[in-house]
């Protein structure tokens, strides 16, 4: 069985982002970019399934500009077998939306024919949480989202997924092929060790374009303006209870 993992190159989780001075987009030129943390967890889960014998091959895929190849190299260095890079230069005013990405991934899934498609539950730059669900809908495959535990049964060709939902943990059983999106507590991603980095240099990255996949990725939405949230006002240290009462009465008007 083949596992396809989709990864995304985003601004690093620990970076404090700023808005560009012309307020059209977030300033990513100077920020460090790396793999989306949920995508790392997805790659790790795919590798663990391969090591457990449930899968034979792990293929990483991404949609993005030429620099996204670094993200694929990271996935290969973690242990993926090969990678597919769908080249697309982003336009900040018309960013690539989950529906377009889902259409591209659907085309890849039809080409590669995997048994399992694992994605991160959301990307930390847009927080959409839509791609996995849309992909499952387009492919008409069952989906197990917010997975916190995945057990694959090869003979029965099913996957048992424990999902983190608002009320607790829900356990569902999916027939393969299926789409799974990973949540934070699924696993702890491994580090890219030097021997693996060395091996990754010889692994293949196939480059395609959306046109070759016959996918129309024209976006219906346009970003008009991006603003920072209003800054929190500093607190005031008061010196007596009377002052507190006075402020609550007159300034905050809650008494």
Task: Provide the binding-site residues for other proteins, judged by CB under 8 A.
Answer: 12-15, 30, 32, 34-35, 37, 40, 70, 74, 77, 188, 191-195, 197-198
Considering beta carbons, is residue 194 or 224 the nearer one to other proteins? Answer: 194
The three-state secondary structure class of 68 is: helix
> 92 φ, ψ to 5°?
-60, -30
Report in angstroms how near the CB of residue 66 gets to other proteins at its nearest: 11
Considering beta carbons, is residue 3 or 77 the nearer one to other proteins? Answer: 77
Report in angstroms how near the CB of residue 23 gets to other proteins at its nearest: 20
The three-state secondary structure class of 172 is: strand
Report in angstroms how near the CB of residue 70 gets to other proteins at its nearest: 7
Cβ proximity of 87 and 94 under 8 Å: no
Cβ proximity of 3 and 213 under 8 Å: no
User: Cβ atoms within 10 A of the Cβ of 250, count?
Assistant: 9
Considering beta carbons, is residue 37 or 90 the nearer one to other proteins? Answer: 37
CA distance 131 to 90: 17
Report in angstroms how near the CB of residue 30 gets to other proteins at its nearest: 6
Report in angstroms how near the CB of residue 59 gets to other proteins at its nearest: 19
Structure letter (DSSP) for residue 18: -
Considering beta carbons, is residue 13 or 156 the nearer one to other proteins? Answer: 13
113: phi > 0 → left, psi -120 to 50 → alpha, else beta; which? left
Considering beta carbons, is residue 85 or 163 the nearer one to other proteins? Answer: 85
């Amino acid at each position: 069985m083949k596992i396809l993992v989709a990864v995304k190159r985003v601004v690093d989780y620990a970076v404090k982002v700023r808005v560009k001075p012309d307020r059209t987009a977030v300033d990513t030129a100077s920020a460090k970019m790396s793999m989306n943390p949920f995508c790392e967890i997805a790659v790790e889960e795919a590798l663990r399934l391969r090591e457990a014998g449930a899968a034979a091959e792990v293929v990483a895929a991404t949609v993005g500009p030429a620099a996204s190849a670094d993200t694929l190299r990271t996935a290969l260095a973690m242990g993926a077998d090969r990678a597919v890079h769908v080249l697309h230069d982003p336009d900040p005013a018309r960013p690539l939306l989950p529906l377009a990405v889902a259409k591209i991934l659907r085309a890849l899934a039809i080409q590669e024919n995997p048994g399992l498609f694992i994605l991160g539950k959301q990307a930390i730059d847009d927080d959409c949480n839509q791609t996995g669900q849309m992909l499952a809908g387009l492919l008409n495959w069952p989906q197990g989202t917010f997975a916190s535990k995945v057990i694959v049964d090869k003979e029965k060709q099913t996957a048992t997924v424990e999902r983190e939902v608002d009320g607790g943990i829900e356990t569902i059983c999916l027939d393969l092929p299926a789409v799974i999106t990973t949540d934070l507590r699924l696993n702890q991603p491994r580090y890219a060790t030097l021997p693996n980095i060395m091996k990754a240099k010889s692994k293949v990255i196939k480059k395609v374009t959306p046109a070759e996949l016959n996918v129309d990725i024209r976006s219906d939405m346009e970003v008009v303006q991006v603003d920072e949230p209003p800054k929190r006002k500093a607190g005031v240290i008061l010196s007596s209870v009377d002052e507190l009462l006075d402020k609550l009465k007159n300034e905050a008007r809650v008494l």
